Amino acid sequence: MLIGVPKEIKNHEYRIGLTPAAVREYVENGHDVIVENNGGAAIGFTNEQYTEAGASIVDTPEEIFERADMIVKVKEPQPNECKMLREGQILYTFLHLAPDPTQTELLGKAGCTAIAYETVTDNRNGLPLLAPMSEVAGRMSIQAGAHYLEKAHGGSGTLLGGVPGVAPGKVLIIGGGVVGTNAAKMAIGLGAEVTILDRSLPRLRELDDIFAGRVQTVYSTVDAIDKYSREADLVVGAVLIPGAAAPKLLTRENIKKMKPGSVLVDVAIDQGGCFETSKATTHQDPVYVIDDVVHYCVANMPGGVARTSTIALNNATLPYGIALANKGVKAMLENDHLLKGLNMHKGKITYKAIHDDLGEQLGLDYQDPREALQG
């Protein structure tokens, strides 16, 4: 199979679909790889490293999309990229279709086989390809929040860790999954007072054990969100419903009651955001202020630490990518976890949560993924 790796074109996106080490794995499995010129140069992966690994360098994304049997990316394809995709071609990348009707419609027209990193599962019902980026984003959320709490950056002038004689800042984390756990690790490390809200009692028990009582674990209700958000210096939105748009858990009314200069970090923004006032921002222009509360809603947070993110992502995506290269769509029929990654095929939506959000609006049909591939 010919694997194509274009350079990412989204604002301040320096990650790349394959590292030179990953390219070498594909080549060892008998595949050819083409990489766009200087696709990974910004994070220290040179053309020479790719050619040494066995890839060929091509000058334009158009050539990659035209020639490749499988496109491996990081971010969802932009409109001009969607238009270059075709039926029979595999797209393997983050998609986040539920809050993005434009991309969904264009992928439907392209007819390609679109596999989303964020909906592939494992035998523990986890999301193994999303997990590394969730780890990165969770850890970054506290760095970002601490930065924007500084007075010069619009915050209240609060040091999360406090100092002897001054109480630490209060961090509220809504969601106790991978993002929330990693945010808590960083917040505890800074010396903050940390509260995690979640709707799963078994998960709250796990978190209580993991952090040995160093965080407050609270069952998530409307009342709990209202109470703890009022007191918080930093709120991290860390909720996820696989494949679907994120629920709006922090309302405009909640935000009006928050302390002036407090900071919101919405890690769920890729899935539409979990705060009512959230709107996607970029690393170039990351924050805005509503009701005296600083909002940080960067839609590709891990792109800010692109080298670490690329290596971590490749560690997770590589086994599934090799399986797709070796067996084509048959790999999904042999692996139910990889099959759950199939979001669109030949113009039809193959992931139920996406169809529930967008199917009627776009006039796109749903088809069971196994039936779609066998049809």
Q: With pLDDT > 70 as the criterion, what percentage of the chain qualifies?
A: 100
- From 245, 280, 299, the end of a domain falls on 299
Number of structural domains, the chain?
Answer: 2
Tokens of 156: 């209240």
Q: What is the mean pLDDT of the chain?
A: 96
The CATH number assigned to the domain holding 111 equals 3.40.50.720
- From 243, 266, 299, the end of a domain falls on 299
Q: Is the pLDDT of residue 128 over 80?
A: yes
Q: Are residues 195 and 156 in the same domain?
A: yes
Give the mean model confidence (pLDDT) for residues 21-36: 98
Long-range contacts of 196-200 (CB under 8 A, 24+ apart): 197/172, 197/173, 197/224, 197/225, 197/228, 200/176
How many angstroms separate the CA atoms of 362 and 367, rounded? 15
Q: Would you say residue 276 lies in a domain?
A: yes
How many angstroms separate the CA atoms of 263 and 187, rounded? 14
Report the pLDDT value the prediction gives residue 11, as an integer from 0 to 100.
Answer: 76
Q: Would you say residue 151 lies in a domain?
A: yes
State the residue for tokens 């899935």: 271
Report the pLDDT value the prediction gives residue 339, as an integer from 0 to 100.
Answer: 98
For 90, which DSSP code?
E
Domain of residue 161, residue span: 133-299
Catalytic (active-site) positions: 96, 270
Tell me the pLDDT tens digit for each residue of 319-332.
Answer: 999 999 999 999 99
pLDDT band at 232 (very low <50, low <70, confident <90, very high): very high
Tell me the pLDDT tens digit for each residue of 55-91.
Answer: 999 999 999 999 999 999 999 999 999 999 999 999 9
Report the pLDDT value the prediction gives residue 21, as an integer from 0 to 100.
Answer: 98
Report the pLDDT value the prediction gives residue 125, as an integer from 0 to 100.
Answer: 83
How many angstroms separate the CA atoms of 89 and 137, rounded? 30
Q: Counting Cβ atoms within 10 Å, is residue 126 exposed (0-12), middle (13-18) or buried (19+)?
A: middle
* Bridge partners for 308 per DSSP: none
Tell me the pLDDT tens digit for each residue of 340-373.
Answer: 999 999 999 999 999 999 999 999 999 999 999 9
Q: Are residues 359 and 216 in the same domain?
A: no
Q: Would you say residue 125 lies in a domain?
A: no
Tell me the pLDDT tens digit for each residue of 273-288.
Answer: 999 999 999 999 999 9
H or E element in which residue 170 lies: strand 170-174
Q: Would you say residue 313 lies in a domain?
A: yes
pLDDT band at 256 (very low <50, low <70, confident <90, very high): very high
Q: Are residues 43 and 183 in the same domain?
A: no
Tell me the pLDDT tens digit for each residue of 218-227.
Answer: 999 999 999 9
Q: Would you say residue 349 lies in a domain?
A: yes
Q: Would you say residue 242 lies in a domain?
A: yes
Give the mean model confidence (pLDDT) for residues 237-264: 92
Give the mean model confidence (pLDDT) for residues 93-114: 96
Closest CA to 71 of 18, 121, 29, 24: 18
SS3 state at 61: helix
CB atoms within 10 A of CB 206: 15
Q: Are residues 280 and 321 in the same domain?
A: no
Give the mean model confidence (pLDDT) for residues 48-56: 98
How many angstroms separate the CA atoms of 138 and 183, rounded? 4
Report the pLDDT value the prediction gives residue 245, as an integer from 0 to 100.
Answer: 81
- Tell me whether strands 70-72 and 170-174 are parallel, antiparallel or unpaired: unpaired
Q: Is the pLDDT of residue 270 over 90?
A: no
For 163, which DSSP code?
B
Q: Are residues 224 and 364 in the same domain?
A: no
Please state the separation of Cα 298 from the chain's center in Å: 11
Tokens of 116: 């989303």
Higher-scoring residue by pLDDT: 243, 237: 237
